[in-house]
Amino acid sequence: MTPSWRKPAGALLILALIVIWVGLVASLSGLVGSWHWTAQLLFYAVTGLVWIAPLKPLLRWMETGRWR
C-alpha cells in the first residue's frame, strides 16, 4: 500500500486554516478589547472552538478521499 498524497496536503490545509483563523481573530482584537471582560471571554472561547468545525470533513477526505 502506497502512502496517499492527501495526508500531507491535508496537513498543509489545516495549518493554512489555523493561520487564516488566527489572523482573522487577531484583527478583531482592537474591537474586542473594548468589550467587557466577560464578553471578551465568551468571544475568545467561541472563536477558539469554532475553527474545529471544518476539520471533520477535511480529516475524512484525508482518510478516504471523499468529503461526505
**What value does the mean pLDDT take over residues 46-65?**
89
| CB contact set of 67 (below 8 Å; sequence gap of 6+) | 57, 60, 61
Establish if 34 belongs to a structural domain: yes
User: Considering its fold, how many domains does the chain have in total?
Assistant: 1
**Given this model, what pLDDT does residue 1 score?**
66
pLDDT in tens, 3-50: 688 899 999 999 999 999 999 999 999 999 999 999 999 999 999 999
Establish if 47 belongs to a structural domain: yes
**Given this model, what pLDDT does residue 32 score?**
95
**What range defines the domain where residue 31 resides?**
6-63
Establish if 1 belongs to a structural domain: no
| CB contact set of 43 (below 8 Å; sequence gap of 6+) | 32, 35
Establish if 23 belongs to a structural domain: yes
Establish if 12 belongs to a structural domain: yes
Establish if 37 belongs to a structural domain: yes
- For the entire predicted model, the pTM comes to 0.78
